[in-house]
Amino acid sequence: MEIPSLSLEGQVAIVTGARRGIGKATALVLAAAGADVAICDLVADSGELDAVAEEARRMGRHILCCRADAGNASDVTAFVHRVLGELGTVDILVNNAGIGGGSGPPEPHLWEEREAGMAERIAWLNENPRVTMFQEADWDAVMATNLKSILLFSQAVSGVMAEKRRGAVVNVSSVLAYSRSAGNLSAYNVSKRGIVALTEGLAADLGRFGVRVNAIAPGGIETELMRYVWGVPERLKALEARMLLGKKLLKPEACAHLILFLVSDLAAHITGQTIVIDDGLTLSMGA
């Protein structure tokens, strides 16, 4: 019996939000599997994105690396145009770009400042309707980066994939897409639930052209977005106690390996699905 391969030799992948975390791990895993990779991020002047590109190039891959705002249509169009011009095609799209709040990506040097204001925010929320906390600009920023970006990138690459009658798209959602109650008055949660719906819609549309679209829903992953947990020992201990399989946060590489499976021939008959990867966290929380 012949087993389908995980090899991505001869393919070109786009990974958004690739300077660190799940995006970085995914770019490197796809490169290790043989793909040439185009990576972008909202922040490109910190040296992190260039470091990812250099590591992938040492694997012998062709790498395109530049700044792009995934929620801006002009940036997306220009980036994809450059990918097609320099790498020739697009076979794989990983929509990973995301932010937790309207202030943008969580930067390590701002961690203490954010943490210092957390108790005050919690106290305020205990005394006021949660819905009144929203600022329109913050809501729009989260929706643009987390949700609209998937539509924009999918639009930009769909013609190329449809013409080839082949392609794979993976969107990064979150276990918080399935949360209930007041937590869903978070722009982040709403955007991540929207990704599940958008994934299903894109899968139904693009499936006619041989293009598969799936999503992953990570939970309990050691990324900068979750520093508010792993940066505080008592919070980390409480969360890891609910990680049924390993009792510790997952590394971003775990998500990258799932993404590799979904874009490979091993998943040739899977589309329109959102796969939770959380070490059993949501089971233990009753979510």
Catalytic residues: 188
Dist CA 19 CA 22 (whole Å): 9
- Residues ≥6 apart with Cβ < 8 Å to 286: none
Long-range contacts of 73-82 (CB under 8 A, 24+ apart): 73/152, 76/149, 76/152, 76/153, 76/156, 77/156, 79/38, 79/40, 80/14, 80/153, 80/156, 80/157, 82/38
According to DSSP, the residues that pair with 90 across neighbouring strands are none
